[in-house]
Amino acid sequence: RGGRGPACAGFIPIKVPLAEKFSDPDICLEPLSPADQFSPSTLLAKAAAVHQQVGMVVDLTYTHKYYNGKEQFEAKGTR
């Protein structure tokens, strides 16, 4: 779900991750299926699976409605 480039490139463009709440059938009329879910924790887990660490997230959306960056990235060591 992200760009595939050389491992040394250091920059991977990705779609906006959505907080897990968007998959909750209790609050969403059409919750995301497991195959369509892409959350901050998914991003960090996928990076860890290939022995990489996400050092920084540059969010160009200028909103906090998709996820809480402080809670979901900064608390886990990602700037």
Q: pLDDT above 70 covers what percent of the chain?
A: 89
Residue from 5, 16, 4, 6 nearest 58 by CA: 16
Q: What is the dihedral of CA 20, 77, 51, 67, to 10 degrees?
A: 20
* Pairwise CA distance, residues 18 & 28, whole Å: 13
What's the average model confidence in pLDDT over 11-16? 84
What's the average model confidence in pLDDT over 16-23? 86
What predicted TM-score, i.e. pTM, was given to this entire model?
0.72
The pLDDT-based confidence of 72 (bands split at 50, 70, 90) is: confident
Q: What is the dihedral of CA 65, 66, 68, 73, to 10 degrees?
A: -160
* Pairwise CA distance, residues 52 & 43, whole Å: 11
* Residue 79 scores a pLDDT above 60: yes
